[in-house]
Chain A
Amino acid sequence: MRFIWFNLMPWPYLPDDFREKYRSVWVDIPSALYDPVRGHEVYNTYLDQLEFAETVGFDGIGVNEHHANAYGLMPSPCLMAAALARRTSRAALVVLGSSIALYEPPIRVAEEFAMLDVISGGRLVAGFPVGTSMDTNYAYGRIPALLRERYAEAHELIRRAWAEDEPFAFNGRYTKLRYANCWPKPIQKPHPPVFVPGGGSVETYDFCIENTYNYSYLSFFGYLRARRLMEGYWQRVAEMGADDSPYRATFAQIICVAETDAEAERLYGPHISYFFNRCLHVYPGFAEAPGYRTIKTIQAEFLRQLARPSLGQGASLSWSELIELGYIVVGSPETVRQRMEELIKTLRVGNIICGIHVGDMPPEKTRYSTELFATKVMPHLKGIWKEYDSDDRFWIRPLAKRAVPGANASGGLR
């Protein structure tokens, strides 16, 4: 089992009456609600937390990409990963951007990921999300019906740019390069492990299986709801004749640990409420531009009765409902261990993205919960898939001997 400590980087100062006064946390939220001076503290606190997670034993630290979004303050995940590359030495840098259909020319992503892989000594996990409709269509103006074609072309260019040793001509529909030539190249060969965040598009299942990429289901709605979707994925893995290594799959889960279940509710309740009530307050009209999902996916969802949860639906749930429905895994180390074991086995996932910082949780609580999870929960779960430990297709292969940041930074001749 591998555990990735992840922070969405929400803006923690949304006003109490945010839901009443504003229709959406995303796309058209006024940027007047952002204060860059406070933002300086916020970014540095969040980056400290990611660095801390490495010191307590997490296998990876994760960042992602959102645009015009007050619950995800990382329009550029590569910038965050670059900051982390120099301040960490062991953990995988799991970058769940870059939304490759958003960059023109997309070879920019091949270059930036190669830079990160080289600076970090081969610790990059490269994420290739399609991106949500809010990010790609509404905030970045991509035509929904053409997004997936653009994504496929960007993917082809990036993979070729990493693989080829000579400049090549790339004559795409959306990108034309007479000299496609990626300098630098990544350390990890043939390419860094790739994670593809998905939300149930059937095309994404096939894409991951064909390319030996990890399918990462990033949901805020917990593992009980995810079960049917992940069953669909594993069924497709079997249909396509691939092996069933759990490292093919990742799941994201909100996790909060305290000494007791009661303490967990007292400590974390307000921050979880902030998350579900303010952070996920998204105007439903932005949920999905027409053409963003394919007809095939829509039909598959009707067939499997996988009604999409609207982002805001957690807001109406009580603490005990959030727990029962699996939106959150919270409580004492023993409670969390039991639920996580059930989650890991029922979804058959080798990686957990741990959402331990939630909403406006302050740093001391985040640290407490992180430490308890690392010391009292993680060790009991590490061995769940030990028979698959030799499967290195979906994880980093760093250099054995890596540079020490700062080694050459002091002045004078020695």
Chain B
Amino acid sequence: MSTCSRLLGVAGGRRKIQVLEAGDGAPLVFMHGAGGVTEDNPFLTALARRWHVFAPLLPGYGMSEGAESLRDMLSVTLHTFDVLDALGLIRPMLVGHSMGGMIAAEMAAIAPREVERLGLIAPAGLWLDAHPIPDLFSKLPHELPALMFHDPEFGERMMTAGGNLDDPKLLEAFVIRNTRQLATASKLLFPIPDRGLDERLYRIRAKTMLIWGDGDRVMPPAYGEAFSRGIAGAELVRIPDAGHMVIVERPHAVVGALLQLERS
């Protein structure tokens, strides 16, 4: 299944974003995490077998521009509604991973009548003193696989695929891409990924599926339980042998849970 990419003007031309698109069927909008998403992502491929997938990239990611005017949670939330409008989508199923899950949950809380089905995969947005989330912004690249993946060796292969950072041109491109991406992410996640979502969770009316890797060391499963307590009627599915990057470690299990959400 091939993924195509296009540029889209949103919010009356205030921002320009890149949208990845694949598959056919009912529309599903996927919101990526802090690491972004690329065309070859196995999770997009898995989603595209069942749905018409749209994966808009936040300003600061890929070719998307206009991050200067996005400063806080509200502006990013409204921006994402602007993206849905620009795509001409009416109440599509919303799925978000990590930071993208935080945005999707905010959308469903701010405009509860606009979101009917919500798939939250290890979403950020809450903070539990008993389970502090590690400070990913200060981690060195070699420290990440063990945190993000259930299987660190698999994670390392995923994270270093094809890159030789000894080449100064590649290094420059890597540093700039990483800085742009995480600069945007920092507006929602730094220094603590809590922008008051817990006070708004009660507003969510969407059918909600919470999907968690059992071995998530970034957002431990206790967060899944906290979300589940906060959102009326939410269902929590825990996936064994998976960490925070459950979407690439166990894409088919995640798709299975989302199918369950669609049928509910």
Mark A residues whose CB is within 8 Å of B: 27, 137-138, 141, 143-146, 173, 283-286, 289-291, 293, 295, 298-299, 302
CA distance A293 to B180 in the complex (A): 10
Q: Is B179 in contact with A284, judged by CB distance below 8 angstroms?
A: no
Give the chain B neighbours of A290 by CB distance below 8 A.
Answer: 137, 178-179, 181-183, 185-186
Closest to A305 in B: B168
A145 to B75, CA, bound (A): 15
Could you tell me the distance in whole angstroms from the C-beta of A414 to the nearest C-beta in chain B? 58
Interface residues of B (CB under 8 A from A): 67, 71, 137-140, 143, 168, 172, 175-176, 178-187, 190-192
Bound together, the chains give a CA A286 to CA B191 distance in angstroms of: 12
- Residue pair A145, B172 in contact (C-beta under 8 Å): no
B187, A289: Cβ atoms under 8 Å? no
Closest CB of chain A to B19's CB: distance in Å? Answer: 23
B186 contacts A289, C-beta separation under 8 Å: yes
Q: Which residues of B contact A283 (CB under 8 A)?
A: 138
- A to B CB contacts below 8 Å, 7 in the list: A141-B192, A144-B183, A289-B138, A290-B183, A295-B180, A299-B176, A302-B175
Q: Least Cβ distance of A287 to chain B in Å? A: 9
* Cβ contact of A298, chosen from B67, B71, B176, cutoff 8 A: B176
B191 engages A137 (CB within 8 Å)? yes
**Of listed B139, B181, B182, residue having the most chain A CB within 10 A:** B182
Which residues on B sit within 8 Å (CB–CB) of A286? 138
Closest to A284 in B: B140
Complex: chain B residue closest to A174, CB-CB = B71
Known: A137-B191, A284-B140. A302 touches B172 (CB 8 A): yes
From the candidates B67, B176, B183, B191, name the one contacting A141 in the complex (CB within 8 A).
B191
CA distance A336 to B167 in the complex (A): 40
B168 touches A145 (CB 8 A): no
Question: B176 near A285 (CB under 8 angstroms)?
Answer: no
Beta-carbon contact of A291 and B186 below 8 Å: yes
Give B134 Cβ to nearest chain A Cβ, in Å.
11
Residue of A145, A289, A293, A302 ringed by the most chain B CB atoms within 10 A: A145
Kindly name the residue among A27, A146, A290, A293 whose own CB sees the greatest number of chain B CB atoms within 10 A: A290
Nearest 3 pairs between A and B by C-beta? A291-B183, A290-B182, A285-B138
Min CB–CB distance A23 → chain B (angstroms): 11
A141 to chain B, nearest CB (A): 4
Would you give the shortest CB distance from A149 to chain B, in whole angstroms? 8
CA distance A173 to B75 in the complex (A): 14
* Residue pair A291, B179 in contact (C-beta under 8 Å): yes
Please report the C-alpha to C-alpha distance between residue A353 and residue B131 in the assembled complex, in whole angstroms. 45
Using known A-B contacts A137-B191, A302-B168, determine if residue A291 contacts B140 with beta carbons closer than 8 Å: no
The interface centre, meaning the residue of B137, B138, B176, B191 with most chain A CB atoms within 10 A of its CB, is B138
Q: Report B52 CB to chain A, min CB distance, Å.
A: 33
What residues of A have a CB within 8 angstroms of the CB of B172 in the complex? 298-299, 302
A138 to B191, CA, bound (A): 7
